[in-house]
Amino acid sequence: MEKKQLKEMSVQEYLDKYMLSRKIEEAVNAAVRAKTPDPVLFISNHMKKAIPSVITKIKARQILDSRGIPTVEVDLYTNKGVFHASVPSGDPAGMYEAVELRDGDKGTYLGNSVTKAVKNINEKISEALIGRDPTQQYEIDQAMKDLDTTEKKGELGANAILAVSIAVCRAGAAEKEVPLYKHIADLAGKTNLILPVPAFTVLSGGKHAGNNLAIQEIMILPIGASKFEEALKMGSETFHHLKAVITEKHGAHGCNFGEDGGFAPNISSFKEALDLVEEAINRGGYNERIKIAIDVAATNFCMGTKYDLDFKAPNKSVQNFKSGKDMIDMYKELCADYPIVSIEDPFDREDWDHTKHFSSLGICQVVGGDLLMSNKKRIERAIDEFTCNALLLKVNQIGTVTEAIEVVKLAKDAQWAVVASHRCGETDDTFLADLSVGLSTCQIKAGAPCRGERLAKYNQLLRIEEELGDQAIYAGEDWRAAC
């Protein structure tokens, strides 16, 4: 049904189209048979189930993310309710990811406003989607892609399209009267629901912090927990033990935070950073149950074919360059000395050869983040060339829920692991948590166990685990499984 038709349809035409007179009579009779104490509420609920849900209105606005940078929020209305979504934002990683549309006016929010994306939703996307059934996720996502016409969603903006796609997904779940994660699982054709192992950021570096640490983050994985609730407790306790360790060694000023909520003491040595984390794990008594993961984000300090580990050091007189082979030797040593089980982006995004060689050693999980950018073509290439063995899924790098489901299936069919990931610029939207459970990614990376926009995802996983009850399964030791 077109938007114009909805506006021009008279009350009588609407009643006739949906046979409401008969359905109202049926609802009244049902209320009488049920001897309900509140017939008005009973009839209202009965009618909601009797009338198929359609999108009646879409309203978008500009809000701020966790970094104080504009992003997009959407309210999507159906005759069953209002469904909200807001999208994260990240530093653009290159030509292979979907386009985050920004205004570019340096006089407003330093060029970061998203009023063009908001306008595209309120006018073009809204016009195309009003009257559609929100349970038809694939068709709606395809309609938005067709409306955009560009390969990377540069006309409407991936931030505009994704916000609507997520809101549609929530509305579809409500229409089916199932939890969001169950609806996502249905869309993906999955029957098993797995609570993921969280990769908690505990130390921040790289471009996410103002210290001298080259690598972007060090994370802890509570794979030895028996359930997600216990994993969250282990992560939180270790985080606070780490605060005490850093305070003892570097003073209170060493406990400043990076963008993802990890501590950012002014250190530069990989080993010094890992020593801090290992001591915090041991203080909690979790030395056999918590493993370590690192996100190197090596593209940030790749200079040609060399890697400058001191790229953040002030007034440096000598550059600490390492070759690809030197980096491999360093990773091998670190994995031998510390309980490191996963390394993300160990080399530059275009350094396929060294990534492939390191992955072939089988030392740890090798995650493609900047390497893949959740781009289907790059994922296919990496699968064909055995470049890495895990996908970092950032939904806003693709732009729709449907495409996220497709690339996860692609990765799992190749027996890869999948890590559902947040972005540095986050909101309090919890969709990532439901997506991770619905697609059984078995791993989720949502930042530190502090800061509201990060904890929103972890707390939602607590609720999901509680709701699933005896059916809840925590990935735990099977964290790398292609579930």
**Catalytic positions, please?**
260, 394
Q: Name the nearest CA neighbour of 277 among 221, 345, 325.
A: 221
Amino acid sitting at position 162: L
